[in-house]
Amino acid sequence: MSTSRATQDPATPDSEPETRNPKPPPLPRQNAWGFYEIRMESIGGLGAHLAGQILGEAAVLGMGLNGAHFSSYGSEKRGTPVKSYVRLCEPERELRVSSPVERPHLLAIFHDTLLDAPFTLQGLDPGSTVVANTRRSLGELFGTLDLPQGTTLARVDALGIALQEGSRINTAMLGAMVRAASFPDAAAVKETIVRILGTRRRDLLEANLRTFDRGFAETETLVVELSVDEPVPRRAPPRLGYANTPRGGLLYAPGNSIRRDNSVFREGRIPELLPEKCTHCGLCDMVCPDYCFVWQEETDKRGRPAMLLQGIDYQYCKGCMTCIAVCPPKALVERPDDEAFVHAYRVPLVNYLGTP
């Protein structure tokens, strides 16, 4: 769990930053404790943590609200589940809560696959806003998701926008969230993008501002009209917890990730092997975090036994592109992640392990 806070002390007005809005706007909605709460369901590498940081700073420094941002993620590696939370309130109110957001007023879903996961919509109240990065139409989403009465449902092809603009999906999602919820203020969010990316990645600033604008402009929304006025049930307690997890983190089912499909974590790009350039040096395999490279014992050009690279198992490839960076003869190149290519050129690892 990582925590970053963007809070202001209402007792020290003299120390307020210049960017602070002297008259904070009213919160669009509040829970019983006076908080407006945002939850982002994402996957490591899609930038939800940074998006939360930008939203929190925009609300505090740009709009004069009080707020906190924090994220939770597991093994801190690309491809693992990430949740990022923003909690906002009026500046006079103290904010001492750092528990996960269970009942979000604004829920952002950063990957299409998460729409089908049972936990994604948990705790959603009637009248909330849901923003999804997806190529599915609003009609398809409405038919698939079990949304409560009065939900504002929004969709945007954030991945498509990011690929076209050479940026990342998080700024497209920020534009979509601001558009769908009419909150926080778009100008404050853009100023924060400039402040944060202007110091960290100035080369990507223009592309990300264009991505934000397109996310805002290309978002489509509908309001769910149903007679059912029930919230989505909250998360059930996990099956394993501190009281009953096996000691030492013992795995009862070793090798249980053999059927794991990492393709859902990719962001539109994959490596392609150019076999005629490959020298079978094995460097790519040493840096690949997910053992995607498939080898077979054969004979080399001189007729000696050798392990030769057969290809890539795209089921496990999450598109981190680390292998491309290390390949000495440039036998790995970046290409679009299109289904026909992956289907034609995937070399299944399980065949070589003798596993069905």
Nearer to ligand SF4, 29 or 269 (CB): 269
Q: How far is the CB of 130 from ligand SF4 (least distance, A)?
A: 30
What the block records as the tokens of 113 is 């696959």
Nearer to ligand SF4, 169 or 312 (CB): 312
Q: How far is the CB of 232 from ligand SF4 (least distance, A)?
A: 34
**Close Cβ partners of 135 (under 8 Å, ≥ 6 residues apart):** 112, 157, 159, 160
What the block records as the tokens of 198 is 């202007």
Tell me how far apart the alpha carbons of residues 40 and 104 are, in angstroms, rounded to a whole number.
9
Answer whether 277's CB lies under 8 Å from 329's CB: yes
Q: How far is the CB of 290 from ligand SF4 (least distance, A)?
A: 5
Q: What angle do CA 82, 141, 121 make, to 5 degrees?
A: 40
Nearer to ligand SF4, 108 or 323 (CB): 323
Tell me how far apart the alpha carbons of residues 237 and 122 are, in angstroms, rounded to a whole number.
12
Tell me how far apart the alpha carbons of residues 164 and 288 are, in angstroms, rounded to a whole number.
27
Q: How far is the CB of 74 from ligand SF4 (least distance, A)?
A: 17
Nearer to ligand SF4, 142 or 352 (CB): 352
Nearer to ligand SF4, 215 or 319 (CB): 319
Any bridge partners for residue 156, and if so which?
Answer: 133
Q: How far is the CB of 44 from ligand SF4 (least distance, A)?
A: 13
Q: Which residues bind ligand SF4 (CB under 6 A)?
A: 271, 273, 278-284, 287-290, 292, 309, 312, 317-323, 327, 329, 331-332
| Interaxial angle between packed helices 186-200 and 205-217, expressed in degrees from 0 to 180 and rounded to the nearest 10 | 160
Nearer to ligand SF4, 228 or 350 (CB): 350
Answer whether 264's CB lies under 8 Å from 113's CB: yes
Q: How far is the CB of 229 from ligand SF4 (least distance, A)?
A: 45
For 90, half-sphere exposure in the C-beta direction (CA atoms, 13 angstrom radius) is 12
Answer whether 329's CB lies under 8 Å from 275's CB: no
Q: How far is the CB of 345 from ligand SF4 (least distance, A)?
A: 12
Nearer to ligand SF4, 207 or 309 (CB): 309
Answer whether 342's CB lies under 8 Å from 263's CB: yes
